[in-house]
Amino acid sequence: MWTPSIVSALENAETPLYFYDMVLLKKTLAEIIQTSKVYDFHVHYALKANNNTKVLQIIQEAGLGADCVSGNEIELAVEHGFKTNQIVFAGVGKTVKEILTALKHQIFCFNVESVQELEVIAQLCLENETTARIALRINPNVDAHTHHYITTGLDENKFGILTHELPLCLEIIEKNSQLQLCGLHFHIGSQITDLNVFKSLCVKVNEWNRWFINRGHEVKVLNVGGGLGIDYDQPDAVGIPDFAVFFAIFNQFLERKPDQQIHFELGRSIVGQCGSLISRVLYIKNGLKKNFAILDAGMTELLRPSLYQAYHKIETVKRHLQSESEMIYDVVGPICESSDCFGKEVRLAELNRGDLIAIRSAGAYGEVMALRYNLRAPLNFVYLE
């Protein structure tokens, strides 16, 4: 991974920075396109994972659609050339301004998450003499078996329409000609590595697909969301998720009707492994019970470990020699919060001030969640192209 040319480029750059392996990103996209085309599946990229300009440019050029969760993400997708008829708008709290933005661009569809949201969109369409395509996000009550902060498909979660509300949704759609029901939307969570979970999702999708058909509504699109996880333990050995197996599950277990499209909203699995947060060691603090490696990057640059104790592999950016001694460190940042910690009891080659550290698998929910807390400086970037 850390070739002499890459190490040289990083050593000459100002840290903290995000290093993006665009070669890996392009290989990942090629794999997605090849394996999804086998079944004529449609893939949208979830901008919430990473909205870096160069990353978006490559994804757009690959021909993927865009999954947006804010009006600003819609505008950004349009600015970067994503086709408006391949943009979907999700999120439980769409504002009037954001809905109007989506209507202005005539996006492919709204993933509607509540009865009241459906009513608001209908009213705005009426006032603006326009129409909106609608996909109803159904909460399937499927446990993704991930961290409770990133599980979205249970009845206790804020996401999606509860099943007893679906008849009311159909009444609203039938009474408002400006609403066009085009799909059903499901999303059960993030960082899912047990692929059997997706089989359970397919069972639920099939049930609700039949429910709508029996009531005279043959929807054009089944949107099964995203959630495919990456390997945070072995970012080099498993740099690209097994998309072939992932897509094959849906092809096998979904009861797809003729002319029905299957849509996916993938984010982390596309960009997660192509990004690393690079930082320098500021100080080594040898305590009575612990050794601390204090970095110039902190929770302001990568929030996930502090937010929900996410694991990222931590390694030194240099050639490792068999004779190098090792030590155990708590790897921490400079922010005035005790939660500003990237990893506890991490075994690394003995560190010195100025050494470069890589925090791997940070391409998703890394840069995009960066903060200015403590008036931190803007991020820097290095790209491998």
Once rounded to an integer, what is the mean pLDDT over residues 141-162? 59
Pinpoint the alpha helices (H) of 106-260: 115-127, 166-175, 196-214, 243-253
Residue 147 has pLDDT above 50, yes or no: no
Question: pLDDT tens digit string along 152-182?
Answer: 444 556 679 988 999 999 999 999 999 999 9
Instruction: Please report the pLDDT score of residue 46 as a whole number.
Output: 98
Q: Do residues 39 and 251 make contact, with C-beta atoms less than 8 angstroms apart? A: yes
pLDDT at residue number 154 = 45
- Which structural domains are found in the chain, ordered by start? 22-272 (3.20.20.10), 273-384 (2.40.37.10)
Three-class secondary structure of residue 221 per DSSP: strand
Given a cut of 80, whether residue 33 has pLDDT beyond it is yes
pLDDT grade for 143, boundaries at 50, 70 and 90: low
Average pLDDT over residues 186-207: 94
pLDDT recorded at residue 213: 96
Query: DSSP label at 336?
Result: S
Q: What is the pLDDT of residues 213-247, one digit of tens each?
A: 999 999 999 999 999 999 999 999 999 999 999 99
pLDDT of residue 75: 98
CA distance 23 to 2: 14
Position 150 scores a pLDDT of 41
Average pLDDT over residues 197-209: 95
Tell me what pLDDT residue 144 has: 52
The overall longest dimension of the chain from CA atoms, in Å, is 75
The Cβ of residue 138 has, within 10 Å, a number of other Cβ atoms equal to 25
The per-residue pLDDT for 152 is 44
Q: Is the predicted pLDDT of residue 149 greater than 60, yes or no?
A: no
CB within 8 Å of 211: residues ≥ 6 apart: 166
User: CA-CA distance, 65 to 263, in Å (whole number)?
Assistant: 10
Q: What percent of the chain has pLDDT over 70?
A: 94
Average pLDDT in the chain = 94
- Lowest-confidence pick of 127-131, 146-150, 345-349: 146-150
What is the model's pLDDT at position 151? 47
d(CA 366, CA 10): 18
Q: What is the pTM of this model?
A: 0.94
Can you tell me the mean pLDDT for 6-11? 94
Residue range 76-114, pLDDT digits in tens: 999 999 999 999 999 999 999 999 999 999 999 999 999
Tokens of 155: 């009845």
Residue 139 has a pLDDT of 87
